[in-house]
Amino acid sequence: MPTTCSNKTGEGDGKCRGVEADNKIVRKAGDLTNAYVYEVGPGPGGITRSILNASVAELLVVEKDSRFLPGLQMLSDAAPGKLRIVHGDVLTFKVERAFPESLKRQWEDDPPNVHIIGNLPFNVSTPLIIKWLENVSQRDGPFAYGRTQMTLTFQKEVAERLAASPGSKQRSRLSVMAQYLCRVQHAFTIPGRAFVPKPEAESAENCARDQQQQGRNESDVDGSSRLMLVALWNCQVQKVGDDLLRVPHRGY
């Protein structure tokens, strides 16, 4: 049976698209066997359940809405030692302290066995991705472990901006920054009818994975993309040397 869909009151964040859709999102993250996963905005736990079923070593979820905590605790009780729940704000949570130091890799090495997966709340998706891109440039936050891979669900218009090619009307500073630091792929779109209540805008899934080449030049600044519009956003973090981007959250 598909899981029930719900909307976070006041946040415009539709949750829980059903078991098949949740599994599809998690599969896009790749092989999660023995991986350490940081899930953002788990809500009632649809994606959480799919991640746990992927044989992860540990799943850390950060949820701000206390109404979802009892359901998440039930999942934790059913998977002893696998699920850690934090009642907090993803914009301020220090994930660089959350996982074992032994997971850390050099920037030039293969990505660590650490993943970020999440259905980002619409009201914080842009500030959060800007924050993470800044973390990429500084190699801190979630990227203190190395080129941590991200598989994220955004509102469709945000995902389209992240993946926009040069010359397109959706192209923005967000596009340039994301594609300079990551390889962005628009993987698929989850229609609005999959959410209850139906949102005014559809979502997009984007995935982020690390690019294996080192260095960037003007001809490839737009990057090679892997963006999944709920799009699902899959971003591979680039090896771009010591570039540092400091940008405001407005105007994207």
Instruction: Name the binding residues.
Output: 41, 63, 89, 119
Annotate 14-29 with b (16+ C-beta within 10 A) or e (fewer).
bbbbbeebbbbbbebb
Binding-site residues for S-adenosyl-L-methionine: 41, 63, 89, 119
- How many whole angstroms separate alpha carbon 212 and alpha carbon 235? 12
38 exposure class (CB count in 10 Å sphere: 0-12, 13-18, 19+) = buried
- How many whole angstroms separate alpha carbon 127 and alpha carbon 41? 14
Handedness of CA 91, 225, 199, 50 (dihedral sign): negative
Q: Are the C-beta atoms of 145 and 198 separated by less than 8 Å?
A: no
Q: Are the C-beta atoms of 129 and 204 separated by less than 8 Å?
A: no
- How many whole angstroms separate alpha carbon 211 and alpha carbon 186? 16
